Amino acid sequence: ARLITGGRLLTTPSSWAPSVTSLVDDLQRNAVDQAVATGIGAALTALVGGVLLTGAGWALLVRPDRMPTPTPTAVRTTAAGVACAALAGVLVVPPVFGPSAPRQCLGSSRLCELRYDEAAYLTAHNAMSTTADRFIGPLQDPDITTQLNTGVRALQLDTYRWESPEDIAARLDSPEFTAEQRRLITGAIDKANPPREGLWLCHGVCRAGAIELVPALEDIGDWLRAHPTEIVTLIVQDDISAEDTEEAFRTAGLDDLLHTPDADPDAPWPTLEEMIDSGRRLVVFAEKADGPAPWYRNFYRYGMETPFAFRSPSEMTCAPHRGGTGKQLFLLNHFITNAGGSRLDAGRVNARDWVLERTRACEAERGSPVTFIAVDYTTIGDALGAVNELNSRRTQGD
C-alpha cells in the first residue's frame, strides 16, 4: 500500500490553504505509518505463533514417550495461552518493530529543518500582565503557562524590584498610564501594600500587579520539560541587574534548558531539530544587558524591530527602530498603546489577514523574514493562525 500510494491517500487541491494541505499531509503520513506498523505486528505475531506450534508438534513426533497425554483441560489452557500471546504480540510488536512517529518541531514535522531565525513565533507582549494574575490594566488574559498551552512561543517579560514611593511618582508620568489608571494605582499605594523584597515581573509599577520572578521561571521550565519538542524565547525588559537575572535562572533550575547563542550575531543559528536534540530550548534575550552569562545576550545585537508606540491601527509602520537594520531576527511590534491595551484594537489588528498583510509588507520593506509577532491579548483574533500559515509557507520555500 505504501509503494502504490506513496504514502498519500488523498491529493489536496491546489486551491487549499498551505496550512490545511500541510495538516492533511501530516495526518496521511501518520495513518499510513500506523497501518504499516499494525500489518507488520499481525504478520510477526502469526509467524511467531506458527513457529511455536510447529516446534511443539515436532517435539511430540520425535519424543512421544516423554510427552504426557494432553487432557481436555490442558488443551484449553494451551489454547488460551496461545491466544493471549497473539494478543500481546499485536499490542507489543508494532511499537517495537514499526516505524517511529515523525519528529515534531513546534508542532509540525515540516518545521524541523528550519533554522531558529527562519521560523515565526507568536509572541505575548507583556506576557506577565494578565487578567488571571489581577494586574491593573492587563495586556493578556490567561496566565503564562496557559499562554504557552494556547500557542505562544515567545514571551516579553519585564523584570523589576519592588518600587519605592519616589520610584512610583516618576513612573506614573509615563504616557502608558491613563488618568484612571493613575487614580487606581495611587489608591492601591495608599492602602496597606508596603514594598516587598525579591525579584518580580511587573508592568511599570509593581503595586499595579506583580508575580514573583523565580516561580514564574520555574513554571516555564516545567512546561518545557513537559513539552520536549518545543522551543521558547524570552525577551526581557530588564530593570534588574544581569547578575540578579542569572541567579534567578539558576535558582529556578533552568541551567540545563538554556541555549547559548553564538557570540557572533551574524553566525548561522542552529535548526529547530538541532536545538531540540540538544535539549537547550530556552532562548533568553535582554533589552539592555549583554551577559555576563553567555546565554544572556542583548536582543538588539541579534535582532531588529519596528516602532511600538502606535496609537491607532492606521499608524502602524515597518520603519526601523531599536536594533537598526540587517539583523537576523526581526521583531514585529503589532499592538496599539493608546490609553493602554484595548481588546477592541486587538480584535482588529490580531485578525489573521491583518497580521499576514502587515507581516508581508514589513518583510518586503525590510528585506528579512519576521521572526517574532508581538501582540496584546493573544487569545483574541487569530494571530496564531497567521503564524502557522507563515511557517507553512516557509517550509515550502515561499
CATH of the domain at 129: 3.20.20.190
DSSP string, 301-338: HHEEE-----SSGGG------TT-SS-SEEEEE----T
- The grid coordinates of residue 360 equal 508581508
Nearest to 127 by CA among 97, 101, 150, 110: 150
Whether residue 129 is contained in a domain is answered as yes
Q: Tell whether 40 and 113 lie within a shared domain.
A: no
Q: Which residue has the cell 491583518?
A: 354
- What pLDDT, on the 0 to 100 scale, is given for residue 16? 64
Does residue 38 share a domain with residue 115? no
Point out the residues of the chain with pLDDT beneath 50: 75, 82, 90, 93-98, 192
Give the distance from CA 262 to its chain's centroid: 22
Q: Is residue 181 part of a domain?
A: no
C-alpha 212/C-alpha 217 separation (Å) is 9
Residue 161 covered by a domain: no
Q: What is the pLDDT of residue 3?
A: 58
* 391 falls within a domain: yes
Q: Could you tell me if residue 389 is inside a domain?
A: yes
The predicted structure's pLDDT at residue 53: 72
Residue 291's pLDDT is: 95
CA distance 335 to 376: 6
Whether 64 and 136 share a structural domain: no
| Same-domain status, 21 and 147 | no
Domain membership of residue 8 (yes or no) is no
pLDDT of residue 222: 98
Shared-domain flag, residues 289 and 317: yes
My answer on whether 27 and 134 are in the same domain is no
CA quadruple 315, 316, 321, 324: dihedral sign? negative
Q: Is residue 102 part of a domain?
A: no
Write down the pLDDT at residue 164. Answer: 73
Give the model's pLDDT for residue 340. Answer: 73
Last residue of a domain, one of 48, 72, 97: 97
87: cell is 494478543
What 3-state DSSP class applies to 296? strand
Cβ(285)–Cβ(299) below 8 Å: yes
- Overall domain count for the chain: 2
Rounded Cα distance between 70 and 79, Å, is 12
Looking at the structure, tell me whether residues 288 and 378 fall in a common domain: yes
Using the CB atoms, write b or e for 173-183: b if 16+ within 10 Å: eeebbeeebee
Is there a domain that residue 207 lies in?
Answer: no
Are both 58 and 145 inside the same structural domain?
no
| Overall pTM surpassing 0.85 (yes/no) | no
361-393 burial: b if 16+ Cβ within 10 Å, else e: ebbeebebbbbbbbbbbbbbbbbbbbbbbbbbb
Q: Which domain holds residue 31?
A: 16-97
Mark whether 239 and 146 lie in a shared domain: yes
C-alpha distance from residue 248 to each of 14, 118, 127, 244, 285 (Å): 50, 30, 18, 6, 15
- Same domain, yes or no: 42 and 122: no
Question: Please, where are the H alpha helices in the chain?
Answer: 2-5, 18-62, 72-97, 144-149, 165-171, 179-190, 213-226, 242-251, 272-278, 299-302, 343-349, 352-366, 383-395
Contact 375, 94 (CB under 8 A): no
Q: Are residues 27 and 149 in the same domain?
A: no
Q: Say yes or no: 140 and 278 in one domain.
A: yes
